[in-house]
Structure 1
Amino acid sequence: MSVQLNTSRRWNQLTTADRIAAVFDRCFAAPDCFNTRLCGGAAEPFYRPAGAGCSYHRIEFTRDYPASARHEAAHWCVAGARRRQLPDYGYWYQPDGRSGEQQALFEQVEVKPQALEWIFARACGAGFRASADNLASGLGPSRSFRQAIWHQVQSYCRQGVNGRAEQFAYALARAFHRPDPLQGGQYRLTELL
């Protein structure tokens, strides 16, 4: 009984971001599994495949931000096996200050990760905000982008998500004592608008 109490006390003392990382690591850190860890404290998010002195893959999220942890985990869940061998999954990234055209391209590739991020947020009992990640230009997430995220969440709930995303979503829901995060009725478009 005291071991369970001490484990529970330690869990409750962790930050939310640390709790998310701990759940991720329990699911995917084993070398015979995906050998991947979710690590906070980074100035900027980045994915580092194993190598160059590190024996495991690292998903680095910004500081101790829970939303960054969920978002970067979502990118990993979307990335296929080939992309998971490339630094930052081989994605291009145009920094803050993108033009309207560049922003539209950014939003197109962010729909699936942000839809998964919303599912992971729901699994943690947290809120979700669509992110345009373009503060300097003053462009927030477009209405069509927010609608596309909601439609993608509904599609994921109806048709399912890949095995990694499903495993992580349900592990988060268990750890945070939340209901099934893959029930489409929980997600309202009005939450994003």
Structure 2
Amino acid sequence: MQFCRKKSIEPKIEDLTHLFFESVGHKYNTRLIKGSDEPIYLPANKNVAYHQIVFAHGFYTSALHEIAHWCLAGEKRRLLEDYGYWYCPDGRDQVQQNKFEQVEIKPQAIEWCLSVASGLTFKVSCDNLNGSYTPDRHVFRAKIYQQLTYYLSTGLPARAELICQALAEFYQISYPFSLSQFNEFER
């Protein structure tokens, strides 16, 4: 079952940056910034007085993904560049890819919620186009879906909840979510 928004409001990055700032960004001194290349999180410093979630090429879905990571990062992690997390770029072997997928399950489950709140279809990202190992996208998606159902039954992290509420209200999406609002699970 595909879920459609009630009205045809095309998602725009300007709306997302505004909604993010109004719903949570102002409270956490954080802004969404359109980047030109790779996404990165930059904490405030002597040159920039606010934290920056820099997303790739102005893509709406890149911004949603980076917001999801921010929603999971704790207070101390939000003071570190890229939250101080390990990242191995595209080109991973099987061990590196498995490690990557393990840390991507929760953010991608939140990204799925943010996508639905924006009236968009979520697409899982294995992010290993040039690797020596070809990941099983369906197995990874199943793990993300399991985390998604957990979030729907127990609640999203607080910042993710606020952003989802703001997006759903703006895009006129029924909220709180029910599992029936999500794309049919690929088998």
Normalising by structure 2, report the TM-score: 0.88
Task: Specify the code of the residue in structure 1 equivalent to 2:79.
Answer: Q
Q: Distance in 1 between matches of 2:183 and 2:176?
A: 13
| 2:144 counterpart of 1:149 | yes
Counting matched residue pairs gives 179
Q: 1:111 aligns with which of 100, 105, 109?
A: 105
Unaligned runs of 5+ in 2: 1-7
CA positional deviation for 1:188 = 4.7
- Give the superposed CA RMSD: 2.0
Structure 1 runs of 4+ aligned residues shifted over 3 Å read 12-15
Q: How does 1:9-24 map to 2 (within 5 A)?
A: 16-24=12-20
1:84-103: CA deviations, max 9, x gaps?
A: 11100001111111001100
- Contact 1:48 / 1:57 at 8 angstroms: preserved in 2? yes
Q: Distance in 1 between matches of 2:36 and 2:71?
A: 20
- Contact 1:45 / 1:60 at 8 angstroms: preserved in 2? yes
Aligned to 1:124: 118
- Contact 1:132 / 1:139 at 8 angstroms: preserved in 2? no
Aligned to 1:5: none
**CA spacing shift, 1:65–1:141, aligned 2, 3 Å:** farther
Aligned to 1:167: 162
Which shows bigger deviation, 109-118 or 140-149? Answer: 140-149
Q: Distance in 1 between matches of 2:74 and 2:13?
A: 24
**CA spacing shift, 1:34–1:42, aligned 2, 3 Å:** same
Task: Specify the code of the residue in structure 1 equivalent to 2:59.
Answer: Y
Q: How does 1:34-53 map to 2 (within 5 A)?
A: 34-53=28-47
- Percentage of matched positions with identical amino acids: 41
CA positional deviation for 1:142 = 3.3
- Contact 1:150 / 1:188 at 8 angstroms: preserved in 2? no
CA positional deviation for 1:42 = 3.1
Normalising by structure 1, report the TM-score: 0.86
Unaligned runs of 5+ in 1: 1-11
Higher helix share: 1
SS in 2 for 1:98: coil
SS in 2 for 1:128: coil
Q: Distance in 2 between matches of 1:190 and 1:140?
A: 18
Aligned to 1:87: 81
| 2:171 counterpart of 1:176 | yes
- Contact 1:49 / 1:86 at 8 angstroms: preserved in 2? yes
Q: Distance in 2 between matches of 1:119 and 1:14?
A: 17
Task: Specify the code of the residue in structure 1 equivalent to 2:78.
Answer: R
Taking CA–CA contacts closer than 8 Å with sequence separation of 6 or more, which of the two structures ends up with the larger relative contact order?
2
CA positional deviation for 1:15 = 6.3
CA positional deviation for 1:189 = 5.5
